[in-house]
């Protein structure tokens, strides 16, 4: 049986962010992580071709990239399509989910992918494609392949895929009728008794969890307030001195703006990947409005502008990391007597 594999420019060994704009290309046989998949699939199937596309190119030219890749897949008429795994690389996850769903829906070829649960591609496509949950980095490649291979073999054999709990893929929101020994009322009472006793139990219908934040009271007198600027739009001093990553940021920066009235192409830029940086690099005030706030400060419309701004990139950054950044930044702002924060993104 034939398998076609999709990977990005990094896993193809072409390069990192500087090569993220490469257009789709197809190579015969196995490339990069395909070696591990091939070993697991043999002797039942093998990867006959690998399709490679830069993450930036795919996400900035989705319709064209999708059409081109579908034509490449058609040339081999595979029995299965594998995309990724993409781990926590946001643009890679969106690309893998997009093309896997398209191959399945438009070509009728079963597809499978894998990524970290917080990858934006997971929320977008886990209902459309069998998607295995992976670790947040390529250090989890061996584990990801080990989870994907059994599912891939079942799909190749045309076998029914079991529940997410049994098979190890992300829940897709599909409900099926099953027959159990105990009727529903008894199972519900059993769960309630366990809950009242503080024991572990597993619900049969998990509800979505929403992270709700209570809004703070409105500022009574903005003309006396100390305002701070925080951004996930990646605005940093020229040269990106802290080397904040363009995606999946592991850090944030703290920068002194006390001597600045304006952000220009000479003193600032964006470190953010995944969107066209031209306009932000021309005038970073478009993302971080220092010029407007400085004028409001001079006009007495706000009390004062905090002397530091904080910046990171939100592109593919894990929620857990973002919460850790927010905790540290928030504690500093409180200690510095900041009354309000203007939080900007891309």
98 and 233 part of one domain: no
**How does pLDDT run across 162-186, given as a tens digit for each residue?**
888 888 899 887 777 778 889 989 9
33 and 136 part of one domain: yes
What pLDDT was estimated at residue 320?
Answer: 74
Q: Quick check: is 150 in a domain? A: yes
Q: How many domains does the chain have?
A: 2
21 and 134 part of one domain: yes
What pLDDT was estimated at residue 222?
Answer: 95
Tell me the average pLDDT of the chain.
92
* H/E run at residue 329: helix 319-335
148 and 234 part of one domain: no
234 and 105 part of one domain: no
129 and 12 part of one domain: yes
What pLDDT was estimated at residue 250?
Answer: 83
Long-range contacts of 143-147 (CB under 8 A, 24+ apart): 144/85, 144/87, 144/114, 145/33, 145/36, 145/37, 145/40, 145/85, 146/40, 147/114
- pLDDT of 319 > 80? The answer is no
Selected residue with higher pLDDT from 331 and 59: 331
CB-based contacts of 341, cutoff 8 Å, min separation 6: 227, 228, 229, 230, 333
Lowest mean per-residue pLDDT among 14-23, 117-126, 209-218, 325-334: 209-218
Dihedral sign computed on CA atoms, order 242, 247, 251, 255: positive
Helices 34-41 and 141-157: angle between axes, nearest 10 degrees: 40
Q: Quick check: is 191 in a domain? A: no
56 and 147 part of one domain: yes
Q: Quick check: is 18 in a domain? A: yes
Of 128, 146, 167, the one marking the end of a domain is 167
Chain Cα centroid distance, residue 109: 25
Q: Quick check: is 12 in a domain? A: yes
18 and 104 part of one domain: yes
Q: Quick check: is 210 in a domain? A: no
96 and 19 part of one domain: yes
Of 132, 150, 167, the one marking the end of a domain is 167
Three-state DSSP at 343 gives strand
**How does pLDDT run across 75-130, given as a tens digit for each residue?**
999 999 999 999 988 889 999 999 999 999 999 999 999 999 888 889 889 999 99
Three-state DSSP at 241 gives coil
141-154 mean pLDDT: 95
Q: Quick check: is 26 in a domain? A: yes
First CA to last CA distance, the chain = 44
What pLDDT was estimated at residue 87?
Answer: 92
Three-state DSSP at 2 gives strand
Residue 66 sits in a domain whose CATH number is 3.40.50.2300
Number of Cα atoms under 13 Å in the Cβ half of residue 153: 14
Of 221, 227, 229, the residue nearest 339 (C-alpha): 227
| Triad 6, 12, 16: Cα angle to 5° | 115
C-alpha separations of 111 from 77, 130, 240, 322 in Å: 13, 7, 39, 31
Q: Quick check: is 206 in a domain? A: no
131 and 247 part of one domain: no
Q: Quick check: is 142 in a domain? A: yes
**How does pLDDT run across 256-298, given as a tens digit for each residue?**
999 999 999 999 999 998 778 999 999 999 999 999 999 999 9
Rg (CA), the chain: 24
CB 90 within 8 A of CB 316: yes
42 and 158 part of one domain: yes
159 and 229 part of one domain: no
Distance CA 282, CA 277 (A): 9
Of 167, 199, 233, the one marking the end of a domain is 167
Selected residue with higher pLDDT from 216 and 153: 153
CB 237 within 8 A of CB 293: no
C-alpha separations of 283 from 136, 223, 287, 346 in Å: 33, 27, 8, 13
Long-range contacts of 185-191 (CB under 8 A, 24+ apart): none
Residue 64 lies in domain: 2-167
- Residue 194 CB coordination number (10 Å): 13
């Amino acid at each position: 049986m034939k398998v076609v594999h999709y990977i990005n420019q990094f896993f193809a060994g072409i390069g990192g962010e500087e090569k993220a704009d490469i257009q789709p290309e197809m190579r015969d046989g196995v490339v990069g992580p395909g070696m591990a998949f091939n070993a697991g699939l043999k002797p039942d199937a093998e990867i006959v071709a690998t399709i490679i596309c830069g993450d930036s190119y795919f996400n900035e030219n989705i319709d064209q990239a999708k059409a081109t890749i579908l034509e490449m897949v058609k040339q081999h008429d595979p029995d299965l399509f594998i995309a990724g795994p993409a781990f926590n690389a946001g643009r890679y996850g969106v690309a893998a989910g997009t093309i896997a769903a398209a191959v399945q829906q438009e070509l009728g070829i079963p597809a499978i992918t894998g990524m970290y649960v917080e990858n934006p591609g997971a929320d977008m496509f886990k209902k459309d494609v069998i998607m295995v949950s992976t670790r947040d980095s390529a250090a989890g490649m061996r584990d990801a392949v080990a989870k994907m291979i059994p599912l891939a073999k079942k799909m190749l054999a045309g076998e029914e895929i079991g529940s997410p709990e049994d098979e190890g893929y992300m829940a897709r929101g599909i409900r099926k009728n099953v027959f159990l020994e105990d009727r529903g009322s008894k199972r519900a009472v059993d769960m309630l008794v366990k809950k009242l006793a503080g024991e572990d139990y597993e619900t049969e219908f998990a509800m979505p969890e929403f992270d709700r934040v209570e809004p703070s009271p409105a500022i009574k007198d903005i003309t006396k307030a100390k305002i701070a600027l925080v951004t996930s739009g990646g605005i940093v001093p020229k040269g990106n001195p802290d080397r904040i990553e363009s995606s999946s940021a592991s850090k944030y920066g703290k920068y002194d703006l006390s001597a600045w009235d304006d952000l220009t192409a000479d003193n600032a830029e964006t470190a953010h990947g995944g969107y066209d940086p031209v306009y932000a690099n021309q005038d970073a005030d478009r993302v971080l409005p220092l010029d407007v706030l400085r004028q409001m400060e001079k006009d007495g419309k706000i009390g004062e502008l905090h002397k530091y701004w904080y910046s990171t990139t939100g592109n593919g950054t894990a929620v857990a990391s973002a919460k850790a950044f927010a905790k540290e930044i928030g504690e500093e702002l409180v200690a510095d007597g900041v009354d309000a924060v203007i939080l900007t993104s891309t």
